[in-house]
Structures are given as structure tokens and as C-alpha cells.
Structure 1
Amino acid sequence: MDHLADLKKFATKPINEAAFAGMSKAYALVMSKSDTRYVACSDPAEIERVRENFLKKKLGLTSGDLDGSIKAVCEAMKADRTKSRLTFYYLLAEHHGKLDLFVKA
């Protein structure tokens, strides 16, 4: 799968390729497994996992409309039955202004 091409389908702003490369490296193991490669927006446990493990632990967010941002990305990607976790996480990080966390200095 061409992850950058997938992201380009959903990105509304210019893609931060350095951040995307950092994310690709950080989530290479997750993306290599068929059971973790995609985000299931219809699964409440999956939404909780994204909120707790990505938004709170990885991005360090503690306040704001975390569930609302997840729902917004679900809505933006609704046409795609298989929502790439890498694209999903990139869009969330972009939404919260946290792409710089993935850029290696």
C-alpha cells in the first residue's frame, strides 16, 4: 500500500513529509500487521484506544474535544472502508497541531 498516496486522498493542507516519514517509521510495526493496520470507526473500543493511546499518550493531549476530533476524521475518511491507521493518525496529529512531534531533528 502506498501510504503517502492514501494520505493525499484525505489531506486538506499541504502534507508535512518529514512528519509523515517520522510517523511511518514510528508505526511501521503496527502497519505491518493486518489486525492493527486499520482503524474501525464503528468500534467503540477502537475509538477509546485511539483516544487513550494516541491522543493522550503519544500526543500528550489532556483537554479539548478529543472524541470530536476522532469523529471528524472518521467522517472525513468515511468513503474508505479500510481506514489506514497511519493516515488516520496523521490527520489527528495535524488537527491538534502536533505533527512536529514526529519530525526528527
Structure 2
Amino acid sequence: MSKLDEKIEHYVAVSKELGLGLSDDLIGRVTEGLGPSIYKQDAETVSCTDQSELDTVKKNFLQNKLGVEAEDAALDAAIKKVCELMGTSNRNKYRALFYALLTKEFGKESLYA
């Protein structure tokens, strides 16, 4: 099994454990899209307490990658919702799952088809 397959398997297991309701296929495709960042401990997770990181998620992922055109308040609300869905006390908010939830939230799954 490749390292990528191991990561995807781990993220699928965590998704099921947290009851996130994400498809295995979406998790796999989002994980592949993240490239080598999933192998770096700091880049693999999202910190919901770091505003500059959340701004980067909003700008680079939601606006640039997904092409979401919405007010900043709506984007911030979606990010906050995902932070809460993944658990405020959960220190391992994996970027692949975080991005998959945002993709689902904005109905952009077709970008990963």
C-alpha cells in the first residue's frame, strides 16, 4: 500500500469516527489534490484558532480553488461551521477532511469528479 493510500485510509477512518458523512471517494480525491502537504505535520492540519490560517483557507481554497463567490461573512461562517463539525477540542483537524467538508458545504463536489 502506498503512503497516499495509507493517508486516505486514515482520513476515511477519522471521518467515520467523527460522523462527518463524507464519501470515501471525495476524501480520496481531495487528499490527492493536496499533494505533498499531507506528509508535513504542520501543513496536514488546520488550526481553527489561527486567524491568518483561516484567512488563507478562505482565499486560497474557497475563492481560488473552488471559485466560491460569496460574501466574506458567508465564507467565515462556513469555515466556523466546519471547525465545529470537526470538534472544537479535536486538535487533529486534518486539512483533507476540512477541505472535503467545505467542498460539500458549497456543493462543489463536481470539481473533484
Pick aligned residue for 1:95 from 100, 105, 113: 105
1:15-54 to 2 correspondences below 5 Å: 15-54=22-61
| Aligned residues of 1:73 and 1:88 also touching (Cα < 8 A) | yes
Aligned residue for 1:3?
Answer: 11
| Aligned residues of 1:30 and 1:36 also touching (Cα < 8 A) | yes
**Matched residue count:** 101
Can you list the C-alpha shifts for 1:2-45, whole angstroms capped at 9, x where unaligned?
A: 0111122241x4x3333222112111311111120110000010
Segments of 5+ residues of structure 2 without an aligned counterpart are 1-6
Write out the 4+ residue segments of structure 1 that deviate beyond 3 Å after TM superposition.
none
Can you list the C-alpha shifts for 1:61-86, whole angstroms capped at 9, x where unaligned?
A: 12140000000011112231111001
The percent identity for this pair of structures is 33
* Structure of higher RCO (CA pairs closer than 8 Å, 6+ residues apart): 1
CA RMSD of aligned residues (A): 1.4
Q: Secondary structure at the match of 2:32?
A: helix
TM-score (norm 1): 0.87
Q: Secondary structure at the match of 1:39?
A: coil
- 1:75 paired with 2:89, answer no
Aligned residue for 1:63?
Answer: 70
| Aligned residues of 1:20 and 1:102 also touching (Cα < 8 A) | no
Higher helix share: 2
